[in-house]
Chain A
């Protein structure tokens, strides 16, 4: 019958058509094109504004590059930095800052989360908001507030101390105290994130684990050490690494509160980088500082990864 042949022919054509269509769909070029299409915007900005600057910084660090001059000096900037007292001091200060901020922030967050996890949702909300609010408030704004709080004569910090009969502390003028003053301020914006993460992490531990341990007669401390901490390892790793990286990059509070002093006691690598690049226009030297800073952070992060030895999947 003609109709039957017709439909058979149509069927045959459709089959052929679909096969080639499938072929096209499955072809490498087609997939590549669309993959490329979606990744292109990111690729462009990423290459231009992340990759290129990082590579160029390494390149520039090998030049004596300032206002009106650009000469190749190889490792000249680096040898200068390693012989510069102030830079070495800034490395020391940066380490002190990180070592002061990270353990205290992470430790406190864990302790706080361990207590708050047993409270009601409303209480947890209150604490979450309290600890996170300083992060939402920019560091600039908080630094301005702390500048007033730390004022030796009119600030509320010394007034508070005087109520306990303690002599006023020269928070920002005494080189033995100023770094501590800075650490305190930095901690206020380093607790929020770990706290929320620990809260979430703790919430994810099934209570059956604790119950089983209770049956075995484990003390609360034992439970904490053997159950809680190991299960929180991935969280701890993440929190420690990110807080460390953040602490290394502290800048605003130093610029507004101490100007790097007194006597360079709060000058960090980051602060020196800014001054060298944008106050003195010595871009080559500043790039070298940036490279050293990046190297330090990477080493620190690697050590932390090894230490926590997590097999966290990314």
Chain B
């Protein structure tokens, strides 16, 4: 490849990266623009008179803090429970034998392909019958049932050497101890990757949360923010402030756990 072509390709690539980052930049800077500045043409690349009025309005007129709290609780709860359930499942699939094992795992693979939306309507009726509407559990339970979680943990569990567990058995470890003391430490990276996956999934589980959590005080951050789009209809600055508030927490998580994000993606896909 000629040097010139390489240079051009690099430039295009950097421009593309900027294109991907731009909406986020625009959103954050926009959140500090007053309503009239926000609709000014030509638009300012950087607000000349930044204001925090949009944030004040946001906190005064909506339950943003509560929504964030709800998201954290629900995503956190989902993550914790999904990890427990999936890790146990991965252990069962790989280190144990039980009847119907192959069938169940086959079902896991098949349901991974089927869009969750197929079950939307029955799930809705089910939650109504369980009296879980407007209740965080209605959102947490389906996430615990994600087939991908079990699949991922099965992949990770396969890397735990059987000899390790056998040695434990010979030493007289109880079944529970085998799981907690010998198995868990080895699959920890897998659990970490799964935790990141489930947390992001739950945080961004917009549609289902939209349907189940219609009480303003029960909404999660993404659902709450979406209701503000029409409420703040002409006020782009305020909309951006709302969007930014929803962005910051997950961004912080991403920065803190970036390694795990990447690891989670790569390991979950293909072996080698």
Contact = CB atoms under 8 A, between A and B. Distances in A.
- A contacting B, Cβ–Cβ less than 8 Å: yes
Interface stretch (B46-54, B57-65, B80-88): B80-88
Interface in A281-296: 283, 286-287, 290-291, 293-294
* B17, B96, B270 interface centre (most CB from chain A within 10 Å): B270
Q: Tell me the interface secondary structure of chain A in the complex.
A: helix
Contacts of A201: 270
B104 A54 contact: no
B242 A54 contact: no
Interface in A45-63: 45-46, 48-54, 56-57, 60
Q: Tell me the interface secondary structure of chain B in the complex.
A: helix
B118 A293 contact: yes
Interface residues of B, number: 93
Contacts of B229: 144, 147, 256
Nearest to B267: A200
* B92, B223, B225 interface centre (most CB from chain A within 10 Å): B92
Contact of B271 (A46, A51, A52, A313): A313
A159 B147 contact: no
A57 B119 contact: yes
Interface string A152-193: 011010010000000000000000000000000000100101
A251 interface: yes
B26 A131 contact: no
A122 interface: no
A278 B41 CA distance: 39
A121 interface: no
A148 B240 contact: yes
Contacts of B92: 35-39, 42
B13 A54 contact: no
A156 B18 CA distance: 15
A144 B119 CA distance: 27
A57 B239 contact: no
A287 B119 CA distance: 8
Interface in B21-79: 21, 23-24, 26-27, 30, 38-43
A12 interface: no
A31 interface: yes
28 contacts: A38-B88, A41-B89, A42-B88, A42-B92, A45-B141, A46-B107, A49-B142, A50-B119, A53-B118, A54-B118, A56-B119, A127-B17, A129-B258, A144-B226, A144-B240, A145-B240, A148-B30, A148-B239, A149-B23, A154-B38, A154-B40, A154-B41, A220-B1, A248-B115, A278-B211, A290-B118, A290-B120, A298-B113
Given A56-B126, A148-B240, A197-B269, 12 more contacts: A36-B92, A48-B126, A52-B126, A54-B118, A56-B122, A115-B9, A138-B246, A140-B246, A145-B27, A251-B206, A252-B207, A277-B121
